[in-house]
Structure 1
């Protein structure tokens, strides 16, 4: 059995070196029921998907090490979660570039498959045109076998043509999705939701680091109160927390640094969008009685909340383009409390005051074309 080395770094991800074809490592690392690795011809090694720019998945590495050792291999593990990896902006630029490459590759596949299917279909129709329309199979005639064989081959060929055209549609859809990858990822509502999630993750990491520091202070011989006071002063100033360099704490600290970097990047992106004219809506922009544009329709604001707007229940709207509290009350047939909906500020596309909406509704409706 050979000597196998499992390495992990933020820039390279988790890799397995030293395997050979036929040594049985394929079933352990990437087979059905394996450890989840994949083999890369470009790298010449097994890699763990989605492990770049992230801390190590120790449980996966430990599982792979135990399985390989049980199979008779000599395994060494090197994990480096402390060394800085790529800048998040560099990684994001690489992801966008790869999406463009995927769009070109998928588009070419779709065109080739669609052209092949259409050509085969046209060729089949030309072949079938030699048989008069409605011509039945003459049972017992000398042409019966030839006619049946022709129809069977034509049916099989038509099936191949349809599959080719369906494959062309599939790859065309994949290409369209890859083309929109960057726009969708950098859209303002998506970015705002991502920032909120990253901010929550950062607070969670700070709490976990604080708990680790408190446990370290409890383990010390003396000076616990002084260390805790110093720790909380540093935490409130967002300073790095000095905690023991155990593997788990190293992963926490590295994850916090990466999360903070992502948060800064996306906040800068939002600032650029605002400089270009985009609007980030918030509680200060609305008051009770205003109207908010939500997915193409206007809703009267019943209550302004810190993270959401309360509006009448959207099912009251039916075919209306403007839903007021008065219209919702009339549509509320069961009586009692008026049902309401809430939607976040990142899902708001516009604002109109009550006076502006009154003037808008007073205008005559524009005649529809046709």
Structure 2
């Protein structure tokens, strides 16, 4: 059996070296019931998807090592979660380039399949045109067998043509999605929601790191107290004012610290992207831009602001039966079926596209509606 090496670094991800075709590692690492690895012809080895620029997935690596060892292989694992990975901006640029390559590749693939399906379908229609419309199969005639075989062949060929056209539509949709990858990812509302999520993750990781640090220091103090002569050494340490040696970081703390650094880098990148969008003229709305009685534009419809909250705007419920372009508190009160209470909605500021004061809205509502010609 061969010696297999599993390595993990942030720039390269999790890779498996030393496997050969037919040695049985394929069924263990990949395939149905495998450990989730895939083989790359470009890399020439097995890799764990979505492992680049992330800390090691110890559960997947440990499961792969266990299965390979049980199969008789010698497995060596090298994990480096402390070394810095790629800059997030460079990684994002690489993802955008791959999306452009996918769009071009999928577009060619879809065009080829759609052209093949249409060509086959038109060819079948031309061949079928030689049979008169409504011509039945002459049972008992010498042409019966040939006629049936021809119809069966055309049916199978039409099925192939339909599958080719469906495959072409599928790849065309994939190409369109790949073309809009960067547009959707760098959209301002999406970016604002991503920044809010990253900030929450940073706060959570800071709390977790602090709890891990306190726990490690408590365990180190307990170990020092359990050693004979600890009281005397502690007295001398305080007398000489010497601090304790720093507690070595555990693998879990190393992975959490690395993840926090990567998250902070990603947050800084998207915050810079928002500043660029602001410089280009896009508006980032906030609670200081609205007051009670103003109108907010949400997905093509104006809503009267009932209350301004730190993260949301409270507006009348949008499903009250009034489908006009402007929903006011008065119209919502008349439209609601239940009496005494006004149903409301909350819209985040990342979903607001415009603002109008009450005076401006009154002028707009006073104007006559345009007549359809």
**Cα RMSD (Å):** 1.4
Q: TM-score by structure 1 length?
A: 0.93
- CA shift, 1:336, in A, is 2.6
Q: TM-score by structure 2 length?
A: 0.92
Q: Could you tell me which residue of structure 1 aligns to residue 189 of structure 2?
A: 189
1:250-261 maps to which residues of 2 (within 5 A)? 250-261=254-265
Q: Could you tell me which residue of structure 2 aligns to residue 231 of structure 1?
A: none
Q: Is this contact kept in 1: 2:322–2:332, CA < 8 A?
A: no
Alignment equivalent of 1:266, drawn from 258, 267, 270: 270
- CA shift, 1:31, in A, is 2.3
Q: Could you tell me which residue of structure 2 aligns to residue 283 of structure 1?
A: 287
Alpha-carbon distance in structure 2 between the residues aligned to 1:125 and 1:244? 77
- CA shift, 1:243, in A, is 6.0
Give the SS at the match of 1:272.
helix
**Where does structure 1 lack aligned partners over 5 or more consecutive residues?**
227-241
1:259-315 superposed Cα distances (whole Å, 9 cap, x missing partner): 000000000000000000011111111111111111110111111111111111110
Decide which moves more: 329-338 or 174-183: 329-338
1:46-79 superposed Cα distances (whole Å, 9 cap, x missing partner): 1000000000001111111111111111001000
Q: Could you tell me which residue of structure 1 aligns to residue 329 of structure 2?
A: 325
- CA shift, 1:33, in A, is 1.1
Q: Is this contact kept in 1: 2:284–2:350, CA < 8 A?
A: yes
**Rg (Cα) greater in structure:** 2
Alpha-carbon distance in structure 2 between the residues aligned to 1:205 and 1:245? 15
Decide which moves more: 103-112 or 133-142: 133-142
Q: Is this contact kept in 2: 1:283–1:304, CA < 8 A?
A: yes
Give the SS at the match of 1:315.
coil
| Ranges of 4+ aligned residues in structure 1 off by more than 4 Å | none
Alpha-carbon distance in structure 2 between the residues aligned to 1:333 and 1:291? 24
Q: Could you tell me which residue of structure 2 aligns to residue 175 of structure 1?
A: 175
- Would you say 1:198 and 2:202 are equivalent positions? no
Q: Is this contact kept in 2: 1:212–1:243, CA < 8 A?
A: no
Alpha-carbon distance in structure 1 between the residues aligned to 2:167 and 2:110? 7
Q: Could you tell me which residue of structure 2 aligns to residue 292 of structure 1?
A: 296
- CA shift, 1:317, in A, is 4.8
- Would you say 1:366 and 2:370 are equivalent positions? yes
- CA shift, 1:34, in A, is 1.1
Q: Is this contact kept in 2: 1:14–1:48, CA < 8 A?
A: yes
- CA shift, 1:244, in A, is 3.0
- Would you say 1:135 and 2:135 are equivalent positions? yes
- CA shift, 1:123, in A, is 0.4
Q: Could you tell me which residue of structure 2 aligns to residue 81 of structure 1?
A: 81
Give the SS at the match of 1:189.
helix
1:333-363 superposed Cα distances (whole Å, 9 cap, x missing partner): 2213111111111011111111111100111
- The 1:359–1:317 alpha-carbon spacing in structure 2 relative to 1, beyond 3 Å, is farther
Q: How many residues are matched? A: 352
